[in-house]
Amino acid sequence: MPPTVLVNAGPWLTVPPGGYGGIENVIATLVPPLRRRGVRVILCATAGSSLEVDELVETMPRPMFRHIAGPYNRMMGIAHAHMLRVVEALRERGDGVDLGHDHLEVVGPSVLAAMGSAAPPALQTLHWDLRKHPDFYTRFDGAGRIAFNGVSEAQLERAPENLRRQTLGAVPLAVDTAAVPFQPAKGDAFLVLGRMAEIKGQDLAAEACRQGGWRLDLAGPVAGAPDAAALDDGLQDPRSGLATDDDVRFYLDRVRPLEDGDRIRWVGTLTGARKLDILGRARALLSPVRWDEPGATAVVEALACGTPVVGLRRGALPTLIEHGVTGFLADRPEELVGLLDRVGEIDPAACRQAAEDRFSAEAMADAYLDLYRTVLERAGRLSTPAPPG
């Protein structure tokens, strides 16, 4: 019998998100094919979540993403308040929940472990840099009831040994390829897609395009502000905290000076069909990240559109991009300019084929079903048939 799974999305954004949202997009991609396979899904997420599920448990009255980068002593209660509602939902349903699929950094597994046998076995998907939270992940013991998975092998290589022992493997991020239109005709602008932050390298992309004489659109929020008007309004309000936000300072000090309003510009947050249209027509998606990005949803979306990717050889990118076939990878930022001149060598059909073969939502759902079975078997909640003979 397919299980009933409680999916813990966290308190930060709706599922699916209205714009930017990595983890929430992953959940929105995974749940539909799980339900087509008979899995009953209970989603714990903020009010306003519109993903079709069997049951929605609203944990917060509104998304709390604008507080996520705030001082810890001001925002520490948000994740815990969310988990209080998750605990209530589990207690109300008792044995009606077979398994938890958690996506809430640190707080999720710690609360589920504290519940002991009152909580179902759980799998936590690790979406972040596994060098974070060493005090937790080097000591946490899931006691055979809580296990983990990563989103790339490169990510898991950086995990502490204690966490690796409790990790079942890596499931690459995916996209619903049937819902993403293939666009073989490209425009003349490159694109960066993601929240504005130093680790995302928007300044490196802008400098490379400036040097090469290429157009560049920078898409994504700045500290939650969806466009320039909202950012400027927030900066006028001392209560917003935007003036001292690290992402805002990065944008104002190191990206905005490279903009000219025409060839290099910030276009704000892109959503829905408009995002896919601009991503599909982009000459290439640029990903000059300064960190070892674990999964890179935007890269998979670009490939599904038939859009090549140019980035730095870090994190998951070498496992997602085949150099010279679906894009190009540089070892140093100075190499990006030369690679931008070569994107015309990439066949958009090869990018689309890679997405269909390796990064489909159906493949991701099948991989997670295998992990669910493993977690349930280890916890003694699913018997394994004896081999014949």
The greatest distance separating any two alpha carbons of the chain, rounded to the nearest whole angstrom, comes to 75
**What is the band of 56 on the pLDDT scale with cuts at 50, 70, 90?**
very high
Spell out the domain ranges in the chain. Answer: 4-174+360-378, 177-358
Domain 4-174+360-378 annotated CATH 3.10.110.10 = no
Q: What is the pLDDT of residues 274-306, one digit of tens each?
A: 999 999 999 999 999 999 999 988 999 999 999
Distance, in Å, from the CA atom of 24 to the CA atom of 99, rounded to the nearest integer, reads 19
Q: What is the pLDDT of residues 179-190, one digit of tens each?
A: 999 999 999 999
Whether the pLDDT of residue 167 is over 50: the answer is: yes
What is the reported pLDDT for 383?
Answer: 53
Strands 122-125 and 146-150: parallel
Q: What is the pLDDT of residues 356-369, one digit of tens each?
A: 999 999 999 999 99
CA angle 292, 295, 296 (to 5 degrees): 90
Whether the pLDDT of residue 39 is over 80: the answer is: yes
Q: Average the pLDDT over 242-252 and give the result.
A: 94
Whether the pLDDT of residue 51 is over 90: the answer is: yes
CA angle 314, 128, 153 (to 5 degrees): 55
**350-389: b (≥16 Cβ within 10 Å) or e:** ebbbbbbeebbbbbbbebbbebbebbbeebebbeeeeeee
What is the reported pLDDT for 386?
Answer: 43
Helices 272-281, 297-305: axis angle to 10 degrees equals: 70
Distance, in Å, from the CA atom of 20 to the CA atom of 136, rounded to the nearest integer, reads 28
Tokens of 150: 């990563």
Q: Specify the CATH architecture of the domain 177-358.
A: 3-Layer(aba) Sandwich (3.40)
Same fold, 4-174+360-378 and 177-358: yes
What is the reported pLDDT for 207?
Answer: 97
Whether the pLDDT of residue 101 is over 60: the answer is: yes
CA angle 278, 209, 232 (to 5 degrees): 65
Tokens of 187: 């425009």
**305-319: b (≥16 Cβ within 10 Å) or e:** bbbbbbbbebbbbeb
